[in-house]
Amino acid sequence: MPKAKWMSIPKVRESIANTSGEVVTASYLDIIKNSKINGYVTVNEEGAIARAQEIDKNGHDGVLAGVPIAIKDNISTKGIQTTCSSKILQGYVPPYNAHVIERLLAEGAVILGKTNMDEFAMGTSTESSHYGTTLNPWDLERVPGGSSGGSAAVVAAGEAPISLGSDTGGSVRCPAAFCGVVGLKPTYGGISRYGLISYANSLEQIGPIATNVSDIATIMDVIGGHDPRDSTSIKRNTAYRNSLVDDVSGLKIGVPDEYFAEGIDAGVEKAVWNAIHKFEDMGATWEKISMPHTKYALASYYIIAMSEASSNLARFDGTRYGLREEGENWHVMASKTRASGFGEEVKRRILIGTYALSAGYHDRYYLKALKVRTLVKQDFDKALSNVDVLMAPTMPAPAFKIGEKIQEVDVNIEYADERPSQQIKVVSSPLDLYLTDVNTVPVNLSGVPSISMPCGLVDGLPVGLQIIGKHFDESTIMRAAYSFEQNTDHLTKRPAGVE
């Protein structure tokens, strides 16, 4: 059995040159076959080998020629099942590629498969997947984070050198922090969302996950840029690799008090402050700042996200694709399909979003949430007008145990009519899980870029440092992250069983 390894893109290219693309791809597929973490929903075994053989035979001068990559299961891949880790899309095979997939294939990438995730990207732990929970490679009893848990876990476990995820409220940065890898949430509009199955249009953004900052920059150079099929896509220069200079002299860092609020794990707080002081040793300066509307961001985010979800997921009714239950008319068919096909968390968010948008409540909840969003964005604008970047913990604690935040309890339903009573399982205390997003959702509300990278360990589990920048200033946060990476020895630590 091949030994799992953390391999950068240059190292993978070197291995391909010494052997072949087929050999390298086959070695990753062998590692996946023997995996215990449940990181993939679909493994593209035949397609990946055929693609690698084609590149070996015909040659390819792309920057990713023969390099395997894993793709989150909510990004459309032509000819490869795309389920959003939901029963309702089981068996759905898209007839088209997302914009980012087109870009990756044009540069010679090989798609290994589709990674596990929280159903429809709704979650922070990958526990809501219809295909079972992904396990954290650092500790198999703990969650990998979410919703891109599979994408981060397979990179951390050496089952793919790089991957793509999507970030609606921290869904790239959270699993990157929990799994000890690097994850970037780009500026909203910096990467086309064409082909990303929507959860919350105004918040979500595709982002890369890798073992190092250099690979993040390489992927961003490939997938970034304008796409006319996405009206939110903006024309910008994408020469990110040119920004990777080991120099943070004169960098001004803002440290928001609100991101170190009561309840943060003491070990996490210490690791992040150690990282900030390391930047100080490297020539940067820091100052404490206040972002007063942060305390309202979580409530605002969940109202907006759930409202948009209630609209976006209305398309899944069993009529055109995916699961279809039988019924005497469309209404019964759609109702049965959704009841059977959607998981509990998805149903919960659709119901809350529908309620927030309903007559009499739209202004009270949704409109007020939009106003709070503006205030949060103004906090970022003000803070980043005086400093170059903000630094804070990505997550307030290390990865928690599976079942710790989401516990199923039995509920007995008694019907008023003649139907027999029904016992179902529901999730207790979902708010405990939502609260873990407190440091990530403000970034999505404001649309600014943010990168999470490992900055230490607490009880053997990774801690993520979050570096936040100005709109379309990924270059600065990547330069800061790269400099920190180049000057920090402990980042060479790996999960058990991975070299």
CATH of the domain at 151: 3.90.1300.10
- 72 flagged as catalytic: yes
Residue 499, in any domain of the structure: no
Look at residue 426 in the predicted model and tell me its pLDDT: 58
Residue 468, in any domain of the structure: yes
Look at residue 491 in the predicted model and tell me its pLDDT: 67
Look at residue 238 in the predicted model and tell me its pLDDT: 74
Residue 188, in any domain of the structure: yes
Query: Quick one: average pLDDT of 186-198?
Result: 97
Residue-wise pLDDT tens digits, 306-327: 999 999 999 999 999 999 999 9
The pLDDT mean for the chain works out to 94
The verdict on 153 and 39 lying in the same domain is yes
The verdict on 184 and 91 lying in the same domain is yes
Residue 395, in any domain of the structure: no
Residue-wise pLDDT tens digits, 406-431: 766 666 767 666 667 766 555 556 66
The verdict on 337 and 441 lying in the same domain is no
> Catalytic one among 15, 163, 171, 450?
171
Residue 393, in any domain of the structure: no
Residue 187 has pLDDT above 90, yes or no: yes
Range(s) of the domain holding residue 288: 253-293+370-388
> Catalytic one among 147, 198, 214, 243?
147
The verdict on 243 and 261 lying in the same domain is no
Count of the separate structural domains present in the chain: 3
The verdict on 242 and 127 lying in the same domain is yes
Residue-wise pLDDT tens digits, 328-340: 999 999 999 999 9
Residue 112, in any domain of the structure: yes
The verdict on 193 and 121 lying in the same domain is yes
pTM of the model as a whole: 0.95
Look at residue 254 in the predicted model and tell me its pLDDT: 98
The verdict on 133 and 56 lying in the same domain is yes
Residue 303 has pLDDT above 90, yes or no: yes
Q: Place 235 in a pLDDT band, splitting at 50, 70 and 90.
A: confident
The verdict on 281 and 338 lying in the same domain is no
Residue 30 has pLDDT above 60, yes or no: yes
The verdict on 53 and 170 lying in the same domain is yes
HEC-encoded secondary structure of the chain: CCCCCCCCHHHHHHHHHHCCHHHHHHHHHHHHHCCCCCCEEEECHHHHHHHHHHHHHHCCCCCCCCCEEEEECCECCCCCCCCCCCHHHCCCCCCCCCHHHHHHHHCCCEEEEEECCCHHHCCCCCCCCCCCCCCECCECCECCCCCCHHHHHHHHCCCCCEEEEEECCCCCHHHHHHHCCEEEECCCCCECCCCECCCCCCCCEEEEEECCHHHHHHHHHHHECCCCCCCCCCCCCCCHHHHCCCCCCCCEEEEEHHHHCCCCCHHHHHHHHHHHHHHHHCCCEEEEECCCCHHHHHHHHHHHHHHHHHHHHHHCCCCCCCCCCCCCCHHHHHHHHHHHHCCHHHHHHHHHHHHHHCCCCHHHHHHHHHHHHHHHHHHHHHHHCCCCEEEEECCCCCCCECCCCCEEEEEEECCCCCCCCEEEEEEECHHHHHHHHCCCHHHHHHCCCEEEEEEEEECCEEEEEEEECCCCCHHHHHHHHHHHHHCCHHHHCCCCCCC
Residue-wise pLDDT tens digits, 253-283: 999 999 998 889 999 999 999 999 999 999 9
> Catalytic one among 27, 35, 72, 192?
72
Residue 52, in any domain of the structure: yes
- 36 flagged as catalytic: no
The verdict on 158 and 303 lying in the same domain is no
Look at residue 408 in the predicted model and tell me its pLDDT: 65
The verdict on 62 and 99 lying in the same domain is yes
Residue 432, in any domain of the structure: no
The verdict on 415 and 382 lying in the same domain is no
